[in-house]
Structure formats: structure tokens, C-alpha cells
Chain A
């Protein structure tokens, strides 16, 4: 497979222009909000009906899905990859490690827009919702990220 010349601004622009309901989550969202953490990949939570639109938007960046939209819907997640890796969550709702149900539609309604390049915005969950998404995984590094997000929330008050 050919390596891609990845243009992050163009990647975000294409996603927003596609109209796909896509939320940037994970550590890349933490960075964009102002928390200095290291990350290798991009994490998105997208609406379950927008898989094909999302995939088509990022294909010019050389990113290809590891599963068909039907398989992805069945599994609730898939990956787009080439030189970059994009983890995509497609569930209508996800339980937190302690059993709280978090629905995409609710998080989408409360989203905030961040300008990630000149004239390009990307949707991220509201801070409280981003903290909830960090309770999906239940890993020690998620705990660490929750601490950082709580500190950020205090800074924003």
C-alpha cells in the first residue's frame, strides 16, 4: 500500500465538509482543548448512519477502513488506517465502566466546535461528556486523562 502524505487540516476539513456527525474524542481532543499529552492516533465517535460518508471523506487522505459499514455497525467500532490510524466508534450508546449509558445523540447535541485550522472547525464533546467517554475503557491511562480533564474544567470555570 502506498504511504500517504497526511495533511491534518485537510483531514479535519474533509470530515466537517462531509456533514458526517463525527466527534473527535480521545487524547487528540484533549490536546486540542489544551492538555499536553502524547498520542499516536485519532479517535472519533460517529453516528451509526454516517459510516460511509465518513469513510468517503477521509479516503483522499489514503485512509481505508478495516471493515465494511455493516461489519462496523455489528462490532460497534472499526479502524481507518494507512500511515495514520483512526479509531472509530459507531455505537448508538456506550456504557461506562460503572454502567452509565452514554448516547451519541445526547453527546452530539451538547458538542462544541473547535477551530483546528483557518476556517476549519471540528466537533468535540462538551467537557463533561468527554470525561464520560474516558469512562468507557476503564484503563489506568483513562483515569489519568480524567484527572487532567477535571483540572481543565476547573481552569475553565
Chain B
């Protein structure tokens, strides 16, 4: 099995630029008009149910988010 190679800082910057670009009103509305597939919606709702069950209060969730962000920045190349 091949070892995981983290993406380069350049690749991360390119992905960030794609995620941060501003869509035109037409692009944005067209994307919103496409409904989520049934499986994708169920997966999303299941994730939300898990998160709310595991972290029942807003305080728990916010604390989780701070821990998760710290982990993510530590692991980032």
C-alpha cells in the first residue's frame, strides 16, 4: 500500500482559491436549483444527527469545533 502523501502548499492554495471564488448570480442560483440526491441528503442528515447526539449542547459543539480546528492546523503541511 502506498503511504499517504499530503498535498503540497501550492495544491492547497489552488483548492482554497477555487472554494473562495465568487460565483455569478446565475451560477449560484443554477447550483442551488439542483436538489440533493436522496442518498446524499440522508448522509448529510445522518451526520447532523450524529453530531447533535454526540455533542448535545451548543457549548459542546463549539468546544469540539475549536479542538477539530487545532487538530487540522497541526496536521496541515
Size range of the interface on A?
A: 35 or more
Interface string of A11-50 (1 = CB under 8 A from B): 0000000000000000010011111111110000000000
Interface residues of B: mostly helix, strand, loop or mixed? helix
Measured CA separation A151–B51 after assembly (Å): 13
A-binding residues in B (CB < 8 A): 18-25, 28-29, 31-32, 36, 41, 44-45, 47-49, 51-52, 55, 57-59, 61-66, 68-69, 72
B-binding residues in A (CB < 8 A): 8-9, 28, 31-40, 97-99, 114-118, 135, 137-141, 143, 146-148, 150-152, 154-155
Q: A16 to chain B: closest CB distance in Å?
A: 13
Q: B55 to chain A: closest CB distance in Å?
A: 8
Q: Is B22 in contact with A138, judged by CB distance below 8 angstroms?
A: yes
Contacts of A39 in B (CB 8 A): 65, 69
